[in-house]
A and B are shown apart, each in its own frame.
Chain A
């Protein structure tokens, strides 16, 4: 089979299955449609993860390889945070208190697993000692953005929140932890990722984040302008004539019959 066709069938169609499946599952309230949409998205994810074996000739399949490598720790991290959050003081959907310990353990293992991909033997490799190029994109972007968001969240909790100092301190600790990981990455070489490579990719991640922010804001601006232009050119809605005296009388009569409670 032609390489391009192979990539289209075994990588790009599965990639498109994920948003299509999610859209389908959210656009209908019927259980069958929701289930069908979720199955489509899940099959897409599985096929993307399998792409390094199904389409090894395509360079894009390295993204599938990365997804397969990080899906475990990322799921553990997110599910751990979910368990910690909902085993606390929440008014709805409260989980048993014992789930908190499992959640903390899952979140720590997930984070350590991801960190171990930089400083230990867990680095995603396409072949022996060849690091997946998309790992250099994912890790600096992820760790830098966590540090920025946690710092912003900590200051926001202090400014807007009422007596949120301990929560703010937690966020400062998270920001400091990820900042320390960034500094360690810059000055301490991992087994496969050197500090120099990490430095290069960290600044590329900054450029990447800035580009994504500018591009997304531009498209939102264009979208708003398109809607504004359309709404402004719409004709004025037809005004209806004011109610007549007989209509007003009928309305007052109806209101009068429905006002007031029973007399004791």
Chain B
């Protein structure tokens, strides 16, 4: 017997993804009456640092990928220069914004200390993301392979 499937929508998938943090927020507001755990200033600083670091490191990774792209295009210089500039822009923006003062400094005394902290922090966060994705995909795969084998053919009754 065929089960009735839900209609596929991106909104539904996005809602499913954001449901746990939204539920926690709702429970927090209901029980505590306010967002007592959220310090908007600190959260913004973290968000900005994460954005700048992720942009710079991801650009650097994509710059490495351009070498493979160049293999099939007679090694052109133009995209390489473009991506080097994009990465340099990320580095400059990071140094400039952190150097503005206490806005992006998180318990660190200098631009260099904050930059190094951002990079190490990004490694730890990326490790956590990688682990969570591995567990999520792995459990989905193991749930699928744990079922009995199915036949793709429907035998016609004689």
A215 pairs with B55, CB closer than 8 A: yes
A212 pairs with B125, CB closer than 8 A: yes
A220 pairs with B58, CB closer than 8 A: yes
Neighbouring A residues of B90 by C-beta, 8 Å: 219
Given contacts A212-B129, A216-B55, contact A158 B5 (CB under 8 A): yes
Residues of A60-97 contacting chain B, CB below 8 A: 60, 63, 66-67, 74, 77-78, 81-82, 84-86, 88-90
Bound CA–CA A186/B83 (angstroms)? 43
Bound CA–CA A213/B133 (angstroms)? 14
A151 pairs with B132, CB closer than 8 A: no
- Distance from A18 Cβ to chain B, minimum over Cβ atoms (Å): 10
Neighbouring A residues of B134 by C-beta, 8 Å: 78, 81
Q: Determine which of A85, A143, A219, A233 lies in contact with B54 in the assembled complex, contact meaning CB atoms within 8 Å.
A: A219
* Any B CB within 8 A of the CB of A106: no
Bound CA–CA A165/B1 (angstroms)? 13
A211 pairs with B146, CB closer than 8 A: no
A145 pairs with B39, CB closer than 8 A: no
1/0 contact trace for B21-38 toward A, CB 8 Å? 101100110000000111
Bound CA–CA A38/B28 (angstroms)? 46
B140 pairs with A214, CB closer than 8 A: no
Nearest B residue to A74 via CB reads B131
B28 pairs with A186, CB closer than 8 A: yes
A171 pairs with B139, CB closer than 8 A: yes
A59 pairs with B136, CB closer than 8 A: no
* Any B CB within 8 A of the CB of A264: no
Give the secondary structure class of A's interface. Answer: helix
Nearest B residue to A224 via CB reads B62
* Any B CB within 8 A of the CB of A203: yes
Bound CA–CA A72/B54 (angstroms)? 27
B116 pairs with A60, CB closer than 8 A: yes
Bound CA–CA A15/B51 (angstroms)? 21
- Distance from A12 Cβ to chain B, minimum over Cβ atoms (Å): 9
B135 pairs with A77, CB closer than 8 A: yes
Interface residues on A, range: 35 or more
A219 pairs with B129, CB closer than 8 A: no
Q: Determine which of A82, A84, A218 lies in contact with B146 in the assembled complex, contact meaning CB atoms within 8 Å.
A: A84
B50 pairs with A223, CB closer than 8 A: no
Bound CA–CA A98/B14 (angstroms)? 38
**Residue contacts A-B, CB under 8 angstroms, 8 given:** A74-B131, A85-B138, A141-B132, A145-B136, A148-B21, A200-B37, A216-B55, A233-B78
Q: A residues engaging B (CB < 8 A)?
A: 15, 23, 59-60, 63, 66-67, 74, 77-78, 81-82, 84-86, 88-90, 134, 137-139, 141-167, 170-171, 174-175, 178-179, 182-183, 186, 196, 199-200, 202-216, 218-220, 222-223, 226-227, 229-230, 233
Q: B residues engaging A (CB < 8 A)?
A: 2-3, 5-9, 12-13, 16-21, 23-24, 27-28, 36-39, 42-44, 46-56, 58-59, 62, 64, 69, 76, 78-79, 82-83, 86, 90, 116-117, 120-129, 131-149
- Nearest first, the 3 A-B pairs at minimum CB distance are A211-B50, A215-B54, A88-B145
15 additional A-B residue pairs with CB within 8 Å, beyond A149-B132, A156-B13, A230-B76: A60-B116, A81-B134, A81-B138, A85-B142, A88-B146, A159-B6, A159-B9, A161-B5, A167-B147, A170-B143, A211-B50, A213-B54, A216-B54, A219-B62, A222-B59
